[in-house]
Structure 1
């Protein structure tokens, strides 16, 4: 049976995710921006929390953990490299590690750049990746701690996942990301269509997260540093891809 995946809006523009296996009852929460909406999502479905997976140390991804765990017992997993600034971990994870969730392998990927020690969690059987603030819907996280080259390497790693992978990212930034993306690739018909679909979804109060990797590959400028129209528009036809990415990220930072 496929896993149940629930997107939980938190704070003003964050997302947490709940992953549930109906056969075993195993339930994981990925990132905890705040406790109340996540607890409500669990309670209304009658699911018992068994695990919490943390992607990185920023407060808007972990600050609700203590409140969520009040009256609950759950295993907490996060990056070994980030353990000194995460809540206490029951399992410390590193790039290339795997662990079991409901009889499925979960693959750990280091996707440093936004922070050093940021991880993504990928379930190959279900084609789901939790990327938080690394690869985002029509964007990527700001490079706060790592380097531009490091972030490009992380995004390139995620881009190699199967195109049908569901990308569960951490924020509702997609509409603003679209306004920037069209300045990088104004002739991209798929991007124009996506921007229209995003506007319709947001007008209805619907989330634009998660998204499909295939859609990100076709429209997300941060994955398209090797694309000829992007390079031509930036005047960087012969530049290394990492430099093209860095220029796109710098432009977004001041957009």
Structure 2
């Protein structure tokens, strides 16, 4: 299965982190404001005219044991003035640190991808989070919770589903200028067991300065029961972007 590579990569990252500190030895919540923005643009002209734009943003603000997050992305590809891909999302999330690497979260997200069969998809999440590893070089988090998803399909109909949500994310700085990150989200469907979803992404980053870096990422979105008129179960995206982090 195409996800085996990513699962193996996650295991290697965990085993390589023999010198990492326990999660409760680091600050519970990063204090203050932080932001990470990225932009990627590809423009072709001449015999073939095409443009591709990819924008992404993630911000967080932490104080005491509370963490507020916002995130979003926009991607569009056109060829000879015809749109061939367009999707976006925006989300808000609140995390509350409880004890010894354990926290709870609440989240609300809206996304759109008419090429995948839905005009809007509203996702409401809540659950728990556990920091397995956390150090200056590495981290590994696990999340488990519940998701309610409401979709407005391109066919004009509306659907709603209840999901379990299992999520893991791991990151490691291999050198002072090179790092990698991997995350995997499993969504078993409680309403229709055949309509499960899997999302995953592997990325590598190379630092240019203390603020800017170059990031390459490969993401896969799998829906075993495609929405609306969509016929394919898998969408994948490869992006290379300039990232500003402060």
TM-score (norm: length of structure 1): 0.23
Between structures 1 and 2, the one with greater strand share: 2
Between structures 1 and 2, the one with greater helix share: 1
